[in-house]
């Protein structure tokens, strides 16, 4: 029996090693993510419900937080049943993608609160009435669409296996130094005026939204691709993955 298990583990390692993954990810998304992300997402969706459901006559934040909560609760339940995780590998990867999406929504919601807050209690009414809300939401949606499109582009067959400067900057490389300088300059250009004008909270809210909306979709897109990959390359002999 132990020989069979070792053989299966070797087969898993071999197959996972062949799976291509895009930029910003050191290793491809694994089924083990289902044990972590739903808990974080559930906490964020709970926070969004507590804050966003107050005086939410339109029901947008209440419905969105409940939807995210249901996804994360389902992920938490599944994480305690390894048999289902292994039996439904493709669906589990898709569920991981949805939990990451809920993380993006929850964290961007916190960024929105930082942008519109004036120190007084905030509820859905204040969010709807703030003139900054539509600008922030539209900007984040455009950024999210761009990030998903960019990472999905890396998974096109013609792009897989290529060495992209975007993803292959080495230590001491001039390009790395250039990117670091650009990042520092951007952060400085955003934070310093905010400090001088007293809008530091807004600056951090915008930076939080930009940073997380640009990076987390890489995990989400890779989880979707992993689900597609597992569907095309089923591992029928393996009984335990996580």
The residue ranking higher by pLDDT, 157 or 109, is 109
CA distance linking residue 183 with residue 71, whole number of Å: 34
Domain boundaries, the chain: 2-161+201-232
Predicted confidence (pLDDT) per residue in 52-92, tens digit: 877 777 888 888 999 999 999 999 999 898 888 888 888 99
CA distance linking residue 131 with residue 222, whole number of Å: 35
> Among residues 15, 20, 19, 17, which one has the least CA distance to residue 160?
20
Q: What's the pLDDT at 154? A: 81
Helices (H), 80-199: 82-87, 89-116, 124-129, 133-153, 174-197
pLDDT at residue 185 is higher than 80: no
- Mean pLDDT calculated for residue range 30-43: 88
Q: Whole-prediction pTM value?
A: 0.75
């Amino acid at each position: 029996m132990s020989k069979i298990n070792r053989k299966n583990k070797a087969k898993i390692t071999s197959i996972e090693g062949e799976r291509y993954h895009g930029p910003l990810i050191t290793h491809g998304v694994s089924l083990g993510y289902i044990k972590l992300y739903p808990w974080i997402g559930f906490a964020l969706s709970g926070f969004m419900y507590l804050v966003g459901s107050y005086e939410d006559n339109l029901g947008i934040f209440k419905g969105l937080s409940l939807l995210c909560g249901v996804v994360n609760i389902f992920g938490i339940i599944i994480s305690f049943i390894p048999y289902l995780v292994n039996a439904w590998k493709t669906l589990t990867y898709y569920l991981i993608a949805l939990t990451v999406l809920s993380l993006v929504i929850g964290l961007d919601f916190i960024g929105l609160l930082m942008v519109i807050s004036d120190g007084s209690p905030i509820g859905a009414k204040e969010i709807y009435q703030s003139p900054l809300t539509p600008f922030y939401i539209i900007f984040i949606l455009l950024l999210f669409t761009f990030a998903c499109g960019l990472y999905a582009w890396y998974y096109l067959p013609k792009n897989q296996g290529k060495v992209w400067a975007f993803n292959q900057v080495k230590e001491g490389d001039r390009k790395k130094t250039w990117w670091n300088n650009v990042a520092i300059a951007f952060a400085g250009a955003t934070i310093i005026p905010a400090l001088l004008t007293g809008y530091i909270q807004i600056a951090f809210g915008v930076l939080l939204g930009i940073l997380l909306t640009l990076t987390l979709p890489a995990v989400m897109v890779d989880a979707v691709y992993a689900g597609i990959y597992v569907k095309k390359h089923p591992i029928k002999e393996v009984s335990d993955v996580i």
